[in-house]
Amino acid sequence: MLRRVPALAFLLLQGALALALDVPTLERRVTDLAGVLSAQQAGALEEKLRRLEETDSTQVAVLIIPGLEGELLEAYTMRIAESWRLGQKGRDNGALLFVAMKDRAIRIEVGYGLEPTLTDARSRRIIQNDIVPRFRAGDFPGGIDAGVTGIIRTVQGDYQSGPDSGAGADKPSGILNVLFVLIFPLLWLLSITGKWGGGLIGAAAGAVLPYMFIARSFPLALGGGGLGAVAGFFLGAMAQAAAKSGGGRGGPSGGGYTGGFPGTFGGGFGRGGGFGGGGFGGGGFGGGGFGGGGFGGGGGGFGGGGSSGSW
């Protein structure tokens, strides 16, 4: 019976994958599968995005679908981003405006190269200030056009946020960096002199580093920080104990802490988290050549930057 468990698990996994929502073929800059836009409206958006790409090679695409059918929003848009590969290879200057009508879900997915300009906070402002009010009024074509315009103006450096956008929304990462610089030297001293120092520095690392590297989603960062603090405490204490018992007392050169601090933090914080490196669908997405249309992604990379919203 036990021998059948792996086979059963494999079949269940295959079934789950088979039920996953398909990624549409990229054939044009504006893909409307929900019938929200008229042909004229879609054509106007297409032309606007074409001019943007001709100006500075930035590729922006719009995808509107009827519904997510149980898919997680961010996971699905990352699958799209990894498949479509918007932006130029090496510049990663692509972005996706995504709308799921039945789920009332909006997301702007941002390529690596646009993250310094089209930040998470600015993406959120575009959604909340430009798109959501129009969607709530029933003007879906107007909201999509306003979102595209906001993305273009942000990329070109002339987007003006509204009065309710919250100008300080870009600052938390800077505060975390300051805390990192001020607190970690103190914890390092504790790790040398105190019994629980190794555990403290491990806990601090586990709590803070997820916010610094993957805090694009508050719940994700909160959960990662809490688990990281607990795990880091024990790993740090173990690392300190191992360092003290593993020959660190043997001579005046004091090798007890060699590698102890880096060892506490080694690995686990790659950019883009669990979505990096083609984790959703296994490669095969070279730039261009997407199914007979006149438009294809240029090979840009995405790592989870952007923002989500609803109306």
Q: What is the pLDDT of residues 257-266, one digit of tens each?
A: 334 433 333 3
Nearest to 273 by CA among 118, 99, 88, 78: 78
Question: Has residue 202 been placed in a domain?
Answer: no
Task: Give the other-Cβ count within 10 Å of 4's Cβ.
Answer: 8
Mean pLDDT for 160-177 is: 44
Q: For residue 144, what pLDDT is reported?
A: 98
Q: Flag whether pLDDT at 56 surpasses 60.
A: yes
Question: Has residue 35 been placed in a domain?
Answer: yes
Structural domain span for residue 122: 19-163+302-310
Q: Flag whether pLDDT at 285 surpasses 70.
A: no
Better-scored residue on pLDDT, 250 or 25: 25
Mean pLDDT for 61-70 is: 97
Q: Flag whether pLDDT at 121 surpasses 50.
A: yes
Task: Give the other-Cβ count within 10 Å of 116's Cβ.
Answer: 9
Q: Flag whether pLDDT at 254 surpasses 90.
A: no
Share of the chain above pLDDT 70, in %: 50
Tell me the pLDDT tens digit for each residue of 182-219.
454 555 455 555 545 555 555 555 554 444 444 444 44
Average pLDDT of the chain is 69
Question: Has residue 10 been placed in a domain?
Answer: no
Q: Flag whether pLDDT at 80 surpasses 50.
A: yes
How many residues would you count in the chain?
311
Q: For residue 269, what pLDDT is reported?
A: 34
Tell me the pLDDT tens digit for each residue of 227-237.
455 455 445 55
Question: Has residue 56 been placed in a domain?
Answer: yes
Nearest to 147 by CA among 50, 49, 71: 49
Question: Has residue 91 been placed in a domain?
Answer: yes
Question: Has residue 65 been placed in a domain?
Answer: yes
Q: Flag whether pLDDT at 26 surpasses 50.
A: yes
d(CA 46, CA 52): 10
What CATH number does residue 131 fall under? Answer: 3.10.310.50
Radius of gyration of the chain (CA): 23
Question: Has residue 23 been placed in a domain?
Answer: yes
> DSSP characters for 244-287?
HHTTTTSSTT-GGGTTHHHHHH-SS--TTGGGGGGTTT-----S
Q: For residue 157, what pLDDT is reported?
A: 85
Residue with tokens 């914890």: 187
Tokens of 240: 């300190």
Question: Has residue 285 been placed in a domain?
Answer: no
Better-scored residue on pLDDT, 273 or 307: 307
d(CA 255, CA 258): 5
Q: For residue 123, what pLDDT is reported?
A: 97
Better-scored residue on pLDDT, 179 or 58: 58
State the total domains in the chain.
1
